[in-house]
Structure 1
Amino acid sequence: MNELVEIEKRGVIAHLTLNSPGTLNALSDAMLAALAARFAALAGDAGVKVVVLKGAGKAFCAGHDLREMQAGRAAPDKGRAYFADLFARCAAVMQMIPALPQPVIAEVHGIATAAGCQLVASCDLAVAAEGTRFGVNGVNIGLFCSTPMVALSRVVPRKVAFEMLTTGEFIDAARAREIGLVNRTVPHEGLDAATSALAETIAAKLGAAVRVGKRAFYDQIGMETAAAYAHTGAVMVENMLFRDTAEGVQAFLEKRKPDWA
C-alpha cells in the first residue's frame, strides 16, 4: 500500500513526496496527519541534513481538500468546530517546517495553490519548474485565503501578496522568483537534479552550524534590530566554540579541507 507521504533517503538528504496525485496532493485530514508524522520523525533524525518536499503526479499541491471541507458542513454546528480544528492542524504543520533543524526545500511543479502555495512559502527554500503556477485563489470561490496569507505575506512584498489574495490571479514561476516566493526556476526536466544539487550543496556544510543558524534565522526575524544583534551575537559565540568550527577556521587558514567529525 502506498503511503500518503513517501520518504526516500539519499544519503543525508530525505526526499518527501506528497503521494495523492488523484487529488493533486490536496491537504486532506490524512495528508496533514502524514506530513506531521514525517516532520516529527525527521526532527529527531540526526542522520538527515536536508529535506526536499515534492508532489507526485501533475502538481505539487492544490491546497485543502474541498470535498472533505464541504462534508464537514453536515455537523449540527454547520462545520464550525471541524473548520477551526482543520485550520489549526494545518497551521501547526506549516509551523513545523521552520522549526525543523534541517533546511527544507520545496521542489515545485504543476500548481501550488491556496494552502499548497502556503506550503511553498513555509519552506526555507524553493525550486520551481518553469511553467509552474502559484496562487492564493480561494477568493474566486468566496473563501479568502487568510491562513495561507500568513506565510505568503512574510516572504513576498506586502502589496504583491495582497494583490494575489484579492484578485485570485495566478503567477508563473518567473514571477514567483522575482517576488521571492521561490529561489530558482529551471526547466521541468531538470527540476529533480537542480533541487538535489542545491540540497547537496547545503548538506556539505557543517550540519551543526546550519542547524543553529536556521534556528537563529527565524528567532531574529521577529525581534527589534538591537535585540536581534544581541541574540545572534550569542549564537555566534556558541557556534565559534564548536570543535568542528575551530577546525573549519584553521583549515581555511591552512588552505586545506576541514577534518570534520
Structure 2
Amino acid sequence: MGDSLIRRDVQDGVATVTLASPQTLNALSTPMLMTLAETFAAIAIDDRVRVVILAAEGKAFSAGHDLKEMQSFRSASDGGEAQFHALFDRCADVMQQIAALPQPVIAQVQGVATAAGCQLACTCDLITASQTARFGVNGINLGLFCATPAVALTRRLAPGAAFELLTTGEFLSAERAHALGVVNRLASPDQLEAETLRLAATVASKDPAAIRLGKRAFQAQLGQPLREAYAVAGSLMVENVMLPDTAEGIQAFLDRRPQT
C-alpha cells in the first residue's frame, strides 16, 4: 500500500515527501491518505527533520479525492454514507496532522491542485508554486460543494475570495494565487525545486526549538478571539524566551558577537 504511493527522503534537516501516483493525478484515495498519515507520524518524531517539503510527481500536485473510489461506495446498503464519512474523516485527520506537525511543511506545487488537493496544499504552512500551477475547488461543477476544502481555504484566503472559488469552480493562476497571498514563493518550472530548497534551508537554519514553538503558537491562536489569542501567544512566547539558546541569542546580539 505505502511505499509505491509516496517517496520519502531526508537530507540536511529537510524531509521531502513526494506523492508518487501520477497515473491517478496523485488522488487522495484511502490508501494514499493512510500512507500520508503513517509518513507524517514517523516524521513528527524524527529529530533529524527540521522542515518538510510536500512535493508531487507528474502534471498534478493532487486532483483531490479519487472519484472512482467514491462512486464505488454507492453499492453499499446505505448508499455509501458510512464510507463517505470514513473517507472525509480520514482526510480531515491528515490535514490536522499536518497542522500539528512540529516541523513547518512547505507544499511544492508544480501543477494543478484541485478540491482536496487544493485543501492539502493550503493546509501546509508555506507554499511554493510553479508559474504553471493552478489552484481550485471545482467540486461545485459536479454538484458537490467542497465543504471540507473550505476549512483550509478560509484559513488561507479572505472569506470572500474563498467563497468565490467554492461557488464558481474557477481556478486561480499561480500569479493570482501569489498576489492573494496563497503562494509564498513563485518560480519558473525549472527553478521550482531550487526555490523550495532555498526556502527550506533558510527555515532549517533557524533555532529548531524556536521554530517548533513558533508553529505551535501560530496554529494555536488562529481563529481565537483577540484576548484569547494574546493569552495563548504570550504564554508560548514566555516558554520560548526562557530557553537557554534564546537567552544566548539575545545576549550575543547585544554584545555584537556570534552566538556560541
TM-score range for the pair, normalised by the shorter chain length:
over 0.9
Structure 1 counterpart of 2:242: 241
| Aligned partner letter, 2:112 | I
The structural deviation recorded for 1:227 is: 2.1
Deviations 1:171-217 (A, max 9, x none): 10011112221111110100000000000000000000010111011
Structure 1 counterpart of 2:87: 86
Structure 2 counterpart of 1:254: 255
Structure 1 counterpart of 2:19: 18
Deviations 1:141-168 (A, max 9, x none): 1111111011101110111111111110
Structure 1 counterpart of 2:38: 37
Deviations 1:211-241 (A, max 9, x none): 0111011111232212222222221212111
| Alpha-carbon RMSD | 1.2
Alignment of 1:86-125 (within 5 A): 86-125=87-126
* Displaced runs of 4 or more, over 3 A: none
Structure 1 counterpart of 2:175: 174
Structure 2 counterpart of 1:54: 55
Q: Which moved more, 1:246-255 or 1:37-46?
A: 246-255
Equivalent residue of 1:60, what SS?
strand
The number of aligned residues is: 259
The structural deviation recorded for 1:101 is: 0.3
Structure 1 counterpart of 2:150: 149
| Aligned partner letter, 2:28 | L
| Aligned partner letter, 2:65 | H
| Aligned partner letter, 2:222 | I
| Aligned partner letter, 1:217 | F
Unaligned runs of 5+ in 1: none
1:160 aligns with 2:151: no
Deviations 1:67-122 (A, max 9, x none): 10011111111111000110000011011111000000000011000000000110
1:70 aligns with 2:71: yes
Q: What fraction of aligned residue pairs are identical, expressed as a percent?
A: 55
Structure 2 counterpart of 1:216: 217
Equivalent residue of 2:32, what SS?
helix
Equivalent residue of 1:102, what SS?
coil
The structural deviation recorded for 1:2 is: 5.0
Unaligned runs of 5+ in 2: none
Q: Which moved more, 1:11-20 or 1:38-47?
A: 38-47
Structure 1 counterpart of 2:186: 185
Hey, what's the Cα distance between the residues in 2 that align with 1:193 and 1:98? 24
The structural deviation recorded for 1:3 is: 2.6
Hey, what's the Cα distance between the residues in 2 that align with 1:229 and 1:146? 29
TM normalised by structure 1 equals 0.96
